[in-house]
Amino acid sequence: MNDRSQPQIRTVMNESGIEVQPRYTAADVEASGGWNMVGEAGEYPFTRGIHKLMYRKQPWTMRQYAGFGNPSETNQRFKYLIANGQTGLNVAFDLPTQIGLDSDDPLAEGEVGRVGMAVDTLRDFEIAFDGIDLNKITVSLTINGAAAILIAMYLAMAEKRGYDVKTLRGTAQNDILKEFVGRGTWIYPVEPSIRLVGDTIEYCAEHAPKYSPVSVCGYHIRESGATPAEEMAYAFCIARAYADDVIRRGLDVDEFAGRLSYNFNIFGNLFEQVCKFRAGRGLWARIMKEEYQAKQPGSMWLRMIAAGGGGGLTFEQPELNIVRGAYYALISALSGTQTMALCSYDEAYTIPTEYSARISLRTMQILIEEMGLTERARRHRQAHRQRRDPGPRIGPGLPDAARHRVGQVSQGRGEPLSQRNRGRTPGRIPSAQRGRRAHPDRVAEQGARRARRRSRAGRAGARGRRREIRGQPDAGHRRGGQGLRQCRRDHQGNDPGLRALPGTDPLLSAPSTIEE
């Protein structure tokens, strides 16, 4: 027999380690739990979405991450984004604010206003949100170690302006456990840190019941090197630790669970990401119903912002990040997110300009207004793949992979705390990142992959350019930002990819509050 008549089918493994079959059928759906584990949108287990009509009733909130310099500059950027159609705010804080330092602290030198807005007093919040209707534009505070203080500042500022905090909506990230696992901007040891999170949940349950005091961040864990299945697993373990702490205080799960939310990443294989969220919604609903005996449907919802994904952006040929961003937005929409945020294409090397932020915002608006993503409650019924690809029988699939990792990480409720104290949790995350580095072609990135094929001299030049870009901003901020501006001009002049962008250039021509 001619060997050509029996072509070899290549093995495909996704990032979570699940083998992807060439085709799926209804039998795969039954083998992975049947249609009962899919259901309809707005019905348990919410696989297809937490609301019955989803985007047909209301599109996702567009909430670009923004904030830099002082509160006045940040206020200008907020108003620019709102004027261009943004429907929510996602506030970035500088590193000193994140770790509880005042701007005049010697340890804050060179970092004030660098990666976010500097906040020292209540007056800073009043300036940052001046002229913004907090009933129409909901605000998400991306803060963790100092979250209790900044939540208090935000609510005090709102009360001072006449808002009723009992009806005020908004979110604080306030996920300190992921700081121990994936980022590092914690202030206090583990046990008092989790007590502070519990304090904010308890306070908001009584005094600000519409406010979401925690957004559990699988996002940063994924950026630290976790697989999509691990991202969901670690996030669910962390959420259970917070829930357990609050329940021990005497609160019923239905008093607070409906205001818990999640922040997840969206870079990578389109189908794997969509499946991750569908499987995750069903798994979280089962955890809340079966383990915590939640009775209210809202307590079982996996409410989320699908954001990013910074880990997928490339420094080389950064204009390709615009294309990536469009696919990330599509993933986010197909995943049934409540809020969407996209990294801007230039975030691989700098703080987003108004020009690049507007491209990301317009990308989301195109999906709503031109691509038909909001015309039906669910845009797809490819349940064979979407249920079976993350299904429990595929080596295992995403639900079983996530459940398996939940068991490994938690070993019982609340165990992420003791795992962190023993140093086990952080050690597991970078191993996945090492796998990506060891097999770069498995998750190939256009532009970056071709850059790796350059001559040794070319690679050395690229590394030198990276060092220049990364080294300049620190010195620039110490000298009032001049170095950062010059760094951008130098980079624009040396990068043919950026020079090729027609019309307004993001680093020179576009209006920006960073530019003088």
**Share of the chain residues as helix, strand and coil, in percent rounded to the nearest 5:** 50, 10, 40
Q: Which of 89, 160, 87 is nearest to 121 (CA)?
A: 160
C-alpha–C-alpha distance, residues 510 and 516, integer Å = 12
The pLDDT value recorded for residue 308 is 78
Which residue carries 């072609």 as its tokens?
441
Average pLDDT over residues 266-292: 93
Q: What is the largest CA-CA distance in the chain?
A: 83
C-alpha–C-alpha distance, residues 292 and 284, integer Å = 11
% of the chain beyond a pLDDT of 90: 61
C-alpha–C-alpha distance, residues 442 and 150, integer Å = 42
Is 462 or 123 the better-scoring residue by pLDDT?
Answer: 123
The pLDDT value recorded for residue 466 is 44
C-alpha–C-alpha distance, residues 223 and 267, integer Å = 10
* pLDDT band at residue 352 under the 50/70/90 scheme: very high
- With helix as H, strand as E and coil as C, how does 44-87 read? CCCCCCCCCCHHHCCCCEECCEECCECHHHHHHHHHHHHHCCCC
Instruction: Please say if the pLDDT value at position 285 is more than 70.
Output: yes
Lowest-confidence region among 23-27, 302-306, 442-446: 442-446
Angle, vertex CA 155, rays to CA 150 and CA 159, nearest 5: 145
The pLDDT value recorded for residue 456 is 46
Average confidence score pLDDT of the chain: 80
DSSP string, 359-404: HHHHHHHHHHHTS-TTSSS-S---HHHHHHTTSTTSSS-HHHHHHH
Angstrom CA distances, 271 to 57, 134, 246, 319, 403, stand at 25, 36, 36, 24, 20
* pLDDT band at residue 203 under the 50/70/90 scheme: very high
* pLDDT band at residue 450 under the 50/70/90 scheme: low
Secondary structure of residue 93 in the 3-state scheme:
strand
Task: Please tell me the pTM assigned to this model.
Answer: 0.80
Q: If 0-12 CB within 10 Å is exposed, 13-18 middle and 19+ buried, where does residue 405 land?
A: buried
C-alpha–C-alpha distance, residues 148 and 173, integer Å = 10
Lowest-confidence region among 126-140, 239-253, 448-462, 478-492: 478-492
C-alpha–C-alpha distance, residues 401 and 407, integer Å = 10
Query: What six digits make up the tokens of 480?
Result: 């009032």
Q: How many CB atoms lie within 10 A of CB 411?
A: 13
Instruction: Please say if the pLDDT value at position 485 is more than 80.
Output: no
Beta bridge partners of 138: 88
Report the CATH fold assignment for 40-429.
Answer: TIM Barrel (3.20.20)
Angstrom CA distances, 475 to 102, 109, 442, 472, 487, stand at 20, 10, 37, 6, 11
The pLDDT value recorded for residue 498 is 33
The pLDDT value recorded for residue 429 is 60
